[in-house]
Each structure stands twice: as C-alpha cells, then as structure tokens.
Amino acid sequence: MQAGRLIVLTGPSGVGKGTLLQLLLQRHPELYLSISATTRSPRPGEVDGQHYYFVSRARFEAMVAGGELLEWAEYAGNYYGTPRAAVEEKIRLGQSVILEIEVVGARQIHQTFPSALRIFILPPNLAELEQRIRDRGQDSEEAIARRLDRAKAEIDAADEFDLQIVNDNLKDALKKIEVAICAANPNIQFG
C-alpha cells in the first residue's frame, strides 16, 4: 500500500483555517486531521480530544522530553504540538494527514518530512484579519493583540511555503486547497 501524504496548513490565527478545514473534511472524509496537544485553555465549545488535547505545561514538557511530538512551538504564551504516534500510523496505513500548525512547527516538519505539501493561507489584508478575529468573539483583547502581532511575522514567512492561497472568498479558497491536495495525492478524488 502507498504511504499517505503529509499536508501542512499554516496561516495567521483568524484567517479561516479551521473553517476551511471543516469544509474540506466534509468533502473528503478520507483525510485525517491531526489533533494537537496544547497548554491553552479551551474556548467555549471546544472539546478535549476533539479540537485539541488540552494538557498542563508539565504534561506537555514530558511529551517533548519523551519524543512524543513530531513538532512543537510556543504561540502567544502557550505550547502547541503534534502527537507523533497517530500521524505516523495513518501515513503508514496510506491515509493522508493534515496538520494545522503555525510557522515554527511548519519549518520543523519541512526538515523531518521534506515531501510534505505546505500550504499558507493569507488574509485579504490585516484589517480584515483583525475583523475576523473580533467577529469570532472568542479571544481577549490581550490575546487578539498577541495574535495580530504574530500574524505580521507569519505573513512575512508565507513565501517559504509551496503554495499561498488568499482566503477572501471562502468557496474559491476551498477549491484551491482541494485542487492542490488532489494534485499531490492520487488517492484523493476531486469533485
């Protein structure tokens, strides 16, 4: 059986990665979305083991020390990382796996999985990004400021990625992601 493909989706917080992924997974249930571990507190409606594994800093540090994470990074005061075992198992079984991670982690994946397809999602502009974070209504003023500050540096790194897609019109952005993933992966049907 052919090994699955690793796909990295990166972009500033609030750009619409989660929204796009939800739609992509509805259309392609054969894709597996990795569930990250984080030390951040759950937002209203977020479920442990579904949106993230919400862990203490001590547990996260033990995961790092034990080599349990494929990559990890600090973001806006919290740790985030990709549990290794589930990803490696799905890839081995021929399933394609999506990692929704920030830039520092994406760079680590580029080192360890050079064949991973790396897609960067851009906002139409920074004002629209801020509006989307605010409209989402789930982050404190401090968290919003930290995310916007980090967004500028992340957008500067967009050229490091294989592909840049602007999430202006949601349907158009979704189609572009779908085309890129299908082109890179003969196991996945487009349409």
Q: Which residue number, 75 or 120, has a Cβ lying nearer to ligand 5GP?
A: 75
Q: Which residue number, 81 or 123, has a Cβ lying nearer to ligand 5GP?
A: 81
Interacting partner of 146 out of ligand 5GP, ligand ADP, none (Cβ under 5 to 8 A depending on kind): none
* Residue span 85-104 as binding mask against ligand 5GP, x where in contact by CB under 6 A, dash where not: ---------------xxx-x
Q: Which residue number, 15 or 181, has a Cβ lying nearer to ligand ADP?
A: 15
Q: How far apart are CA 80 and CA 86, in angstroms?
A: 16
Residues 6 or more apart in contact with residue 129 via CB below 8 angstroms: 12, 14, 15, 123, 148, 151
**57, burial (CB in 10 Å: exposed 0-12, middle 13-18, buried 19+):** exposed
* Interface with ligand 5GP, residue 82, by CB under 6 A: yes
* Interface with ligand 5GP, residue 73, by CB under 6 A: yes
Q: How far apart are CA 63 and CA 54, in angstroms?
A: 13
Q: Which amino acid is at 134?
A: R
b/e string for 134-155 if b means 16 or more Cβ within 10 A?
eeeeebeeebbebbbebbeebb
Instruction: Name which of residues 110 to 139 contact ligand 5GP (CB under 6 A).
Output: none
Write out the two tokens for 179: 């085309």
Least distance to ligand 5GP, CB of residue 83, Å? 8
Write out the two tokens for 152: 């500028």
Interacting partner of 135 out of ligand 5GP, ligand ADP, none (Cβ under 5 to 8 A depending on kind): ligand ADP
The residue with its CB nearest to ligand 5GP is: 105
Among residues 4, 16, 105, 123, the one that binds ligand 5GP under rule CB under 6 A:
105
Q: Which residue number, 135 or 159, has a Cβ lying nearer to ligand ADP?
A: 135
Report phi then psi at 99, rounded to 5: -110, 125
Task: List residues binding ligand 5GP (CB under 6 A).
Answer: 13, 36, 40, 71-73, 75, 80-82, 100-102, 104-105
